[in-house]
Structure 1
Amino acid sequence: MLRFISFLAIIYSVNCASAPFIKPCKSSDNACLLASAQAALPIVAAGIPELGVKPLDPLHIPLVKSNTAGLEVTFSDNVVTGLKGCKIEAIKNDLAKNKQVIAMRCSTEWRGNYQMDGQMIVLPVKGEGKCVLTVQDLVVKTTSDLTTVQGEDGKPHWHIAKWKHAYEVKTNAKFQLDNLFNGNKVLADPVINFMNSNWQVVMKEMAGPSIYATIEAVIDAVEAIYKAVPAEELFISE
């Protein structure tokens, strides 16, 4: 049976020669996993070049596009901050199915450029310029599956075969879009006020691809550690 601690829990919660910041935990010891993960998260978010882990805070996302319900949106040169302050709220291992479920709560900010054209719920919207999205208490639940592959060192290494996620904003989201309708405030202000008053609906319509891209960057960081660290060093046997 594959015994593992996957996704973020693994990289934050075990101790090994290849990654000395990792503290050992048994895969069933959720209290240990939570404490270890929270302590090490800022280290991983800052990036670990020697393990091939790119910085997650700040995180640069070059391009995200979406076309939902007649609204075309492009975000470019986005910089995401706040991931180092995330809180891992739950870790659940299912060793029989080789799955792990992680729940994280983050407050983040996306800054970059936008292009938007189409219909937002009931309002027409068009513009391009600078944008800021501030999200308070974004809860992301991720389920990942692992397989084992042979590493360049000849040892078994974990590999994320697939993953899926769900998200919900618990507290608030605030949108700032410069130059909407070419700077016509008479047209722009009602749209922005509508977005901020109906942020739950707007987040579902607009933010999904940006959140996916952010999670994908975290997955890439995990994969880099899996590639660098043999699986035998990533858990304490029960």
Structure 2
Amino acid sequence: MNLDNKVLTFTMKMPKLEQIAKYNINGKIMVLPVYGSGDSKITLSGAKIIHTIKFKEEIKNKKVYFKIISYRVEFTVENAHFQFENLFNGDKQLAENILKVLNENGRVLFEDASEGIDKSYAEVYKNIATRFFQNVPVDDIFLP
């Protein structure tokens, strides 16, 4: 953390992180054609997220607040496990085979997609941090 340079940096470590969502895919993963839509669960093991927040100070009601200029994350994992329901429109044999390949290469696949993943997570965290910093003055965050 370097408040003089208006930068906050911190690391979050999570032994296990699950992301549950709806998916819709029609494309290629590792040159393999993949399609389907439905429920998904991605389980990340050994997740580490380094957050870097650049900010400026704003005065409101005679108190100093942080205003975020940029928010960046760098996401790494030890492993990733993928589960997609209704992959290949319900063809279980095809789905099992592709999921086996995906899960055997989970960390590599995650790394290949890391730029988009980092940007997506940064946007989520930025929204949360913005609401926090808009409402909590700096003096209430960093006590003397």
TM-score above 0.5, yes or no:
yes
Aligned to 1:129: 38
Q: Percent same amino acid at aligned positions?
A: 24
- CA RMSD between the two structures: 2.1
Aligned to 2:127: 220
Give yes or no for contact 2:72–2:119 (8 Å, CA) kept in 1: no
Q: CA deviation at 1:109?
A: 0.8
TM-score (norm 2): 0.85
Higher strand share: 2
Counterpart of 1:114 (choices 23, 26, 44) is 23
Q: Which amino acid aligns with 2:89?
A: N
Deviates more, 1:97-106 or 1:206-215: 206-215
Aligned to 1:15: none
Change (3 A) 1:116 1:149: same
Aligned to 1:139: 48
Q: Could you tell me how far apart the structure 1 residues matched to 2:5 and 2:57 are?
A: 14
Q: Deviations over 1:165-222 (max 9, x none)?
A: 211102x211111111111123221110000000012213446545543443333222
Aligned residue for 1:97, secondary structure, equals coil
Specify every segment of 5 or more residues in structure 2 that has no aligned partner in the other structure, as ranges.
Answer: none
TM-score (norm 1): 0.54
Q: Which amino acid aligns with 2:35?
A: K
Q: Could you tell me how far apart the structure 1 residues matched to 2:62 and 2:50 are?
A: 33
Q: Could you tell me how far apart the structure 2 residues matched to 1:142 and 1:96 are?
A: 18
Q: Which amino acid aligns with 1:97?
A: N
1:233 matched to 2:143? The reply is: no
Q: CA deviation at 1:121?
A: 0.9
Q: Which amino acid aligns with 1:108?
A: L
Q: Deviations over 1:44-83 (max 9, x none)?
A: xxxxxxxxxxxxxxxxxxxxxxxxxxxxxxxxxxxxxxxx
Change (3 A) 1:205 1:114: farther
